[in-house]
Amino acid sequence: MKKISLIATLLTAVLLLQECKKDTVTETVTSSQLMLAEINDSTWTSDTVTASVTYTAATQSKVFSCTAIADNKKVTFSALSTNTPSTPGFTLATFNLNTTSNVSMAYYQSEKDSLTGNTVFVQHGTVLPGSGSITVTAVDSVKKLISGTYYFTSQRNNYDNSGNIVSVTVWQVQAGGFNNMPYTFISN
């Protein structure tokens, strides 16, 4: 009798514990912006974005490239993936800016051209090796959508009339992301 009473008590306790499960809330942060970043501590979101993945059969490589423009600012970057198939996707990986030409990144601001009076984008500084990366986190090769993150630092040395560096101007492009950004696939 004690065994039956003990089993009944344990079953009742298990059933009560099953009913007392914790609620779990999972929150996912997404952005409706195709591309964004923090540029010198100010949030920047793109108005216009063009992206492509280009496959070159001769080298069996792909280049993912992107240009985004908004608020008189332009951000460009590209990453090379080698030994890749001719499919329309792209490699999920982190591409670090180093001394090779596999990754390039640049920051531009629009300025009035003193000769023509036209507004043009002027590259501000140079992105030095080790100061940036692109991480591709998701690719939908059927819908041709790509997502990931990026960051880089661009710097320009300012010189006096004698050629001496008098200051350094730095542009921080941090916490950058591209979210389900459409891209075109080109095969050469």
d(CA 36, CA 56): 29
d(CA 46, CA 156): 24
Find the length of the chain. 188
Mean pLDDT of 162-178: 94
Q: Who's near 15: CB < 8 A, 6+ residues apart? A: none
Query: What integer pLDDT is reported at residue 32 of this predicted model?
Result: 62
- Hey, which residues does 112 pair with through a beta bridge? 119
Structure tokens at 73: 């600012």
Query: What pLDDT band is residue 100 in, cutting at 50, 70 and 90?
Result: confident
Q: What is the residue type of 11?
A: L
Q: Who's near 162: CB < 8 A, 6+ residues apart? A: none
Residue entry with tokens 């350094």: 168
110 by Cβ neighbours in 10 Å (0-12 / 13-18 / 19+) ranks as middle
Query: What integer pLDDT is reported at residue 101 of this predicted model?
Result: 85
Mean pLDDT of 150-171: 94
Domain boundaries, the chain: 32-187
Query: What integer pLDDT is reported at residue 103 of this predicted model?
Result: 95
Q: Provide Rg for the chain, Cα atoms.
A: 25
> Is the pLDDT assigned to residue 88 strictly greater than 70?
yes
* 24-65 tens-digit pLDDT: 333 333 456 789 999 999 999 999 999 999 999 999 999 999
**Quick one: DSSP state of residue 3?**
H
